Amino acid sequence: MGQVVTGVVVLDCAEPEKLATFYKEFLDAEESGATANRIEVRSADGLRLAFRRDANATPPSWPRPENSLQVHLDFLVDDLDEAERKVVALGGRPLETKDASGLFEERGYSDPAGHSFTLRRTTDPAPKQG
């Protein structure tokens, strides 16, 4: 078997154009490929996501137990509040808003098609100046 060079996380959704726009804006990514039923984006650090058209796609129901989590993405950010504002402005919504502060603080969200993802703090926040 040959070497696996890279992978792409593919999310099924009813409207790949809309979802690709959400992630392009959120990740400051570029579109790296598109067909009638699939759009791929690549972030500056090389993360590749694709969005495949599936008219019958059913988003996960997490945190409710029916239809469970299926899969979710983790994004590392240095400013949770700023990242949250960007997510919400782009059409995402908070799912789990309990504030577990500290070095490993994280918050749960869903994208406009209902796929869940987590924002995780990458560093311990420095005291605000001024």
Q: Where are the domains of the chain?
A: 8-56, 58-130
CATH topology of domain 8-56: 3.30.720
pLDDT score, position 123: 66
Give whole-number Cα distances, 89 to 19, 82, 109, in Å: 14, 11, 13
pLDDT above 60 for 125? no
CATH topology of domain 58-130: 2,3-Dihydroxybiphenyl 1,2-Dioxygenase; domain 1 (3.10.180)
The per-residue pLDDT for range 13-60, each reduced to its tens digit, is 999 999 999 999 999 999 999 999 999 999 999 999 999 999 888 877
DSSP string, 51-114: EEE-TT-----TTSSTT-----EEEEES-HHHHHHHHHHTT-EEEE-----STT-EEEEE-TTS
pLDDT score, position 98: 61
Cα–Cα dist 71/68, whole Å: 9
Predicted confidence band of residue 84 (pLDDT cuts 50, 70, 90):
very high
